[in-house]
């Protein structure tokens, strides 16, 4: 029966999908060869959940040792050179915005960004009990997320990983606001629900708005801790751990 075949294929494919969505390896085998294109598409979709994946710090250290043992020549470009060509992006924007983007080559979004692109970065110093993730000095490291501020849409966050820090980055006018990607109730990972414009914690169905504030009725959960960000040459950087 072709229908039963299809159900079996659907069941099998969903097992593989379930593994990928849970962060597990792809367990495809030779018997899956007929569905290889669908499976590879599933892997691509699973991979698209993290727009800028970074190596875990443990794996990065391992690769560092591997490269060190091989003693490669000092061959690579500086980080700055890797992100060349920013002028092209900036050139496409209005001069005023370019100026503001230039000025935001500093920490932004603490504790909350100026809501309507006020050019004064006074928000940085305003007092707040909001907690901020500040990795200790020895391990703190700025991560270039590869995201161009100019290409970010308002109301459409990007999920980024900076070492041990997982964050959602929102564009707010000409600034960015980043916050922890983990629920402040119990540490489940939040997902963005674009139809409702909220971050959702699947574990206990808690909701947070795009400022990271709890939308719970009655008792409010603590706001999502802020993650430090800055914009360098139009690119969003996030403070994480090496």
Partner 1 sequence: MTGESEQPGDLVQLRSAGTGIETALEELELVYAYVYARVGNRADAEDVTQQVALKAIPRLRAGASPGAIRAYLFAAARSALATFWSARFGLPQDELHEDLWVENRRPEPAADSVDRVHRILEQLPSNYRRVLELRFLHGYSLKEVAAELGTTVGGVKVMQLRALRAAAKVEPGA
Cβ within 8 Å of residue 188, ≥6 positions away: 182, 201, 202, 203, 204
Q: Among residues 14, 103, 134, 187, which is the contact residue for partner 1, using CB under 8 A?
A: 14
Q: Which stretch binds partner 1 (CB under 8 A): 19-27, 116-124, 178-186, 210-218?
A: 19-27
Q: How far is CA 82 from the centre of its chain?
A: 20
User: Which of 1, 2, 4, 81 is close enough to bind partner 1 by CB under 8 A?
Assistant: 81
Cβ–Cβ contacts within 10 Å for residue 16, how many? 22
Total residues at interface with partner 1 (CB under 8 A): 76
Element (H, E) at 142: strand 140-148
Tell me how far apart the terminal alpha carbons of the chain are, to the nearest angstrom: 55
Tell me whether residue 50 or residue 154 sits nearer to partner 1 (CB atom). Answer: 50
> How many C-beta neighbours within 10 Å does residue 239 have?
22
* Residues sharing a CB contact under 8 Å with residue 210, sequence separation 6 or more, in sequence order: 155, 157, 170, 177, 197, 198, 199
Residues in region 22-41 near partner 1 by CB under 8 A: 23-26, 28-30, 32-33, 35-41
- Residue of 4, 68, 218, 219 that binds partner 1 (CB under 8 A): 68
Shortest gap between Cβ of 130 and partner 1 (angstroms)? 26
Query: Does 6 contact partner 1 by CB under 8 A?
Result: yes
Does position 94 interact with partner 1 (CB under 8 A)? The reply is: no
Among 2, 48, 204, 220, binds partner 1 (CB under 8 A): 48
Give 129's contacts (C-beta < 8 A, 6+ positions apart).
none
Contact between 93 and partner 1 by CB under 8 A: the answer reads: no
Pair 198, 221: CB distance under 8 Å: no
Nearer to partner 1, 23 or 218 (CB): 23
**216 is written with which tokens?**
């719970």
Residues 166-195 binding partner 1 (CB under 8 A) are: 191-194
Please give the Cα distance from 201 to 6 (Å, whole number): 33
* x/- map, 147-166, partner 1, by CB under 8 A: xx------------------
What's the DSSP call for residue 223?
Answer: P
Q: Which one, 116 or 195, has the nearer CB to partner 1?
A: 195
Footprint on residues 199-228 left by partner 1 (CB under 8 A) = 202
Nearest to partner 1 of 89, 132 (CB atom): 89
CA–CA gap between residue 223 and residue 192 (Å, rounded): 16
Closest separation in Å from C-beta 160 to partner 1: 11
């Amino acid at each position: 029966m072709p229908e039963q075949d299809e159900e079996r294929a659907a069941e099998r494919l969903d097992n593989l999908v379930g593994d990928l969505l849970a962060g597990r390896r792809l367990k495809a085998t030779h018997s899956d060869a007929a569905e290889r294109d669908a499976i590879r598409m599933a892997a691509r979709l699973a991979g698209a959940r993290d727009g800028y994946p970074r190596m875990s710090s443990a794996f990065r250290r391992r690769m560092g040792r591997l490269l060190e043992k091989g003693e490669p020549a000092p061959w690579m470009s500086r980080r700055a050179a890797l992100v060349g060509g920013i002028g092209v992006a900036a050139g496409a924007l209005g001069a005023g915005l370019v100026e503001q983007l230039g000025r935001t080559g500093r920490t932004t979004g603490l504790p909350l960004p100026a809501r309507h692109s006020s050019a004064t970065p006074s928000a940085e110093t305003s007092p707040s009990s909001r907690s901020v993730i500040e990795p200790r000095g020895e391990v703190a490291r700025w991560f270039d997320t590869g995201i161009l501020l100019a290409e970010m849409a308002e109301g459409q966050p990007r999920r980024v990983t900076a070492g041990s820090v997982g964050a959602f980055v929102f564009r707010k006018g000409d600034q960015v606001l980043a916050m922890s990607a983990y629920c402040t109730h119990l540490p489940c990972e939040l997902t963005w629900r674009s139809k409702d414009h909220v971050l959702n914690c699947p574990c206990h169905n808690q909701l947070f708005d795009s400022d990271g504030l709890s939308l719970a009725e009655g008792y409010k959960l603590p706001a999502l801790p802020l993650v430090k960000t800055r914009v360098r040459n139009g690119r969003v950087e996030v403070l994480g751990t090496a």
